[in-house]
Amino acid sequence: MGRDKRNEKRERERFTSWIASEKSLPSWKALSFSAREAYHHLRIRCFAESKKLNNNNGEIFRSPRKLAEDMGCSAKVAMKSLADLEAKGWIICTKLHELGCHGQGKTALFRLTMLPSGDARKPIQATREPVRWEEGSDYEVIAYPKYKPKGYIGQSRNFKNKNPHTKWTQPCIQIECGNDDNEPEPASKLNAETAQNTTNPASKLNAYLLSHTPP
């Protein structure tokens, strides 16, 4: 029976396994949502679970710009996601990125710690760094150390720097009142002035009638 060439032209869908025990680890829950999305984009490019293809775990690469296009975010968010994964132990940088000559740079290479690496004949077991991760003790970030996520203390300090008036209170307005007993109140002064300036309308009418009455 001959081979079916129609299946060879058909594009194969990429997929990866979702292991519930890994997603229940504290190191996974401590990741940001962008870092979780970036991990899946790296894992579908790893052939450690495939029996037909050679294991490329340890040589997985994805530039921040391409990863940003996959995730639908900026390159800065993609680099933060990779740094967060490296800090929690989910990936390890095996080779740093290089600028290269004539604009031909090379991106960094990573290894997924929860999957085996090495040749299929001599496989190397997974190191499983995320299982040993504890809160407050992140792993060293080699690829993008500038984008390493800050802890709670660093975030609170950064918030205080952006908002220097955290203890601002509404100023109270003080009104000085006279303590002299002989000095009249402002309301009494106003009433006295208005009483002097205003005359009785009845007296004006009587004066007008007296002046215009015939003799």
Q: What pTM does this model have?
A: 0.63
Label residues 38-62 b or e (16+ Cβ within 10 Å = b): bbebbbebbbbeeeeeebbbbebbb
pLDDT tens over the chain, length 215 residues: 455 555 555 556 777 888 899 999 999 999 999 999 999 999 999 887 777 678 889 999 899 999 999 999 999 999 999 999 999 999 999 999 887 777 677 889 999 999 998 877 788 899 999 999 998 889 999 888 888 777 644 444 444 455 555 554 555 555 555 555 555 555 555 565 555 555 565 666 666 666 655 65
Contact indicator for 83, 32 with CB cutoff of 8 Å:
no
What are the structural domain ranges in the chain?
A: 20-155
Question: How many CA atoms lie less than 13 Å away from 168 in the CB half-sphere?
Answer: 6
Beta carbons within 8 Å of 86's beta carbon, 6+ residues apart: 92, 93, 139, 140, 141, 142, 143, 144
Confidence (pLDDT) at 214? 61
Confidence (pLDDT) at 70? 92
Helix (H) or strand (E) holding 60: strand 60-61
Contact indicator for 60, 110 with CB cutoff of 8 Å:
yes
Reported as a single tens digit per residue, the pLDDT across 135-162 is 888 999 988 888 877 764 444 444 445 5
